[in-house]
Structure 1
């Protein structure tokens, strides 16, 4: 579950049960790099930071729907409100909708697009329901998990935030990249909803894991 796992190409995403509709291995890896940086709250300068990854991602495959999903989602969730006001983002979302109609996508990808559409319309609880739908079938979809965690947090749904990560937590075995961070989300969710003992226990496990990874 360390952040050091190699970035996933088309086949690796497929093997993880999270197929991406692009033939570009470069786009797949850059998507992975962007998700990882978002999920771990840090810009990896070796990867050019989130901004750098997003622009390279767009260049690698301009029609890659999940590339557009993460770019638009980060903006939407970063600003956190209904964004019909922001013309650039509005246009970016329209582009995403057009792309979505112009190519065959997986069910999961279609739901990702739908969730963002709901979010952009100001229907954040509805967006969370759609991310939950994704997580039911794809519990290791880190983007769906992180988007929903951040949205639950911003609308004050602490219990849903905790329960959501609790449901997927068993699937995040140590071999899944970033599983230790998901353990961290779980600890945070428990703490936010006043389950302090269990939160403390998990937090200690996370710290131990990081020390092992960093070789302390």
Structure 2
């Protein structure tokens, strides 16, 4: 009996570990389910790194299991609805399922005690869903002022600034929290990559490439940092250097499914710059079109249309 009791106690303490980790990071999650916390972490990690982990069932699989683990976990609804809104460009006016999911989230948030941070997350999505994107960003910035390592607020704001074309805000949002992302914090090298992209978008090309290469030295599969360098080479008209870089690094990023298509698009762009249209079309046939057909991702659809149109113009 004593042994059984000890075993039960040990399992209980292990179940507390994941919830406690979020708490220790100053990012309390209002749920009693440790499994929900783990799945929230798994979904957020895949979103932050632009890669579906098939062994976990990808982001969709994790979100499905997350809702099953704790249907009343407000932040579980926040990440699911936020990814739908930001990832697909869906509108609550046109998507009844999303409209219903947003209403459920709002009702849940009012029926339970949440932290101030969680309440701001709910409000930010409410703003985004009603088309008030700059106001949504203001609320995410409010979160980041007091919780600079809130990766969900940082990533949602980054993507929304990108959609808005707010390049300076996209850069400065990361710049403000960057000192807090010390190397011991999981995924800190990816934050380095986000910062590098903002620097590139505001024409600090050399500093952007330096940071992106620092990020890649930590993690070679960081496809967003590869993306920054692809942009830098394009902006500096260093076509030969760009082609060599994409070829040298391809094996590192070709399986990062949410971004691989776009990086191949950048590769093809260099060939168009050189007037080597057959080479660009080969990349389109082998990589861009198949990924667009298999993923159905809006970003991949945009890459597909854009590449065909550029070739058409040529």
TM-score of the aligned structures, taking structure 1 as reference length: 0.93
Partners of 1:82 and 1:119 within 8 A in 2: no
Query: Which residue of 56, 59, 62 maps to 1:53?
Result: 62
Count of aligned pairs between the two proteins: 207
RMSD: 1.6
The equivalent residue for 1:89 is: 98
Q: How does 1:64-143 map to 2 (within 5 A)?
A: 64-80=73-89, 82-143=91-152
Deviation of the 1:63 alpha carbon = 0.2
More helix by proportion, 1 or 2? Answer: 2
Residue number in structure 2 paired with 1:150: 159
1:165 corresponds to which of 174, 184, 191: 174
Identify the residue that residue 41 of structure 2 maps to in structure 1: 32
Q: Of the two structures, which has the highest relative contact order with CA contacts closer than 8 Å and spacing of 6 or more?
A: 1
- Displacement of 1:193 after TM fit? 1.0
- Offset, 1:116: 0.1
Following superposition, the deviation at residue 82 of structure 1 comes to 4.2
Tell me the alpha carbon deviations over residues 95-152 of structure 1, each in whole angstroms, 9 at most, x when there is no partner: 0011001100000000000000000000000000000000000000000000000000
Q: In terms of Rg, which structure is larger?
A: 2
Corresponding residue number in structure 2 for 1:5: none
User: What's 1:43 paired with?
Assistant: 52
Q: Residue 203 of structure 1 corresponds to which residue in structure 2?
A: 212
Aligned-pair CA distance for 1:85: 1.9
Q: Which digits, 9 at most, give the CA deviation of each residue in 1:143-179, with x for residues without a partner?
A: 0000000000011000000000000000000111100
Structure 2 residues not aligned, in runs of 5+ = 1-16, 223-251, 253-314
Q: Which runs of 5+ in 1 are unaligned?
A: 1-7
1:210 deviates by: 1.5
Per the alignment, in what secondary structure is the counterpart of residue 92 of structure 2?
coil
- Aligned equivalent of 1:3: none
Question: How is 1:180-195 mapped onto 2 (pairs within 5 angstroms)?
Answer: 180-195=189-204
Q: Distance in 2 between matches of 1:124 and 1:155?
A: 8
CA distance in 1 between counterparts of 2:182 and 2:146 reads 16
Contact 1:34 1:54 in 2 (8 A): yes
DSSP 3-state at the match of 1:9: helix
Q: How big is the shift at 1:81?
A: 5.5
Normalising by structure 2, we get a TM-score of: 0.64
Shift of 1:197: 1.2
